[in-house]
Amino acid sequence: MFLGLRRPLLRHLGDYAAANAWAKTDGKGLAKQSFAILPKIAEIDAIVLPERQRRLREAHPELVFARWNGGTALPSKHTPEGLAARRGHLGRRGFDDLDLWLEKLQRSGAKPDDLYDACALAAAASEAMQGHARRVKCPETRDARGLRMDIWF
């Protein structure tokens, strides 16, 4: 299970041991991959303000793929079937250069599922700009900074 990154972790940007220790008190430990992206999360966190949430939205690629799949989750992205299903959905939405992009990603550390997730989020952003955004239905909740706790797909 992936435990989401929480804002208090941003206090530990340069210290994996401290970040991991805090994460363990709040759930389970912090993966090094998650720790590595904390500086980028901090950059985004600094610019997302309540008044900017009309244009800046948090999204989740698995929800995008499930929407495209008629509301049903796809097989795990860590299986050949899951990767093929994601690639098929992306191909139907105009992502026809995936082989070229995958070739360029070699030796970068990124995996095919990373590319597919990024493409799904780009497509969802484009759909949102055309008025086709969807939000997970739940009671409105705001965090300590006044940000709506929304997930779009």
Chain segment 6-16, per-residue pLDDT in tens: 888 999 998 99
129 and 64 both lie in a single domain: yes
Cα–Cα dist 98/108, whole Å: 15
> Does residue 20 lie in a domain region?
yes
pLDDT, mean of residues 21-44: 90
> Does residue 1 lie in a domain region?
no
Average confidence score pLDDT of the chain: 92
pLDDT-based confidence at 54, cuts 50/70/90?
A: confident
Q: Can you give the C-alpha Rg of the chain in angstroms?
A: 17
pLDDT value at position 96?
92
Q: What angle do CA 57, 35, 148 make, to 5 degrees?
A: 25
pTM for this one? 0.83
The pair phi, psi for residue 117, each rounded to 5°, is: -60, -45
The pair phi, psi for residue 44, each rounded to 5°, is: -65, -45
64 and 20 both lie in a single domain: no
pLDDT value at position 113?
96
For the chain, what's the residue count? 153
Share of the chain above pLDDT 70, in %: 98
pLDDT value at position 2?
53
61 and 100 both lie in a single domain: yes
What lies within 8 Å, CB to CB, of 45 at 6+ separation is 7, 10
Q: 25 is in which domain, residue-wise? A: 7-47
41 and 113 both lie in a single domain: no
pLDDT value at position 109?
83
pLDDT, mean of residues 21-27: 87
> Does residue 127 lie in a domain region?
yes
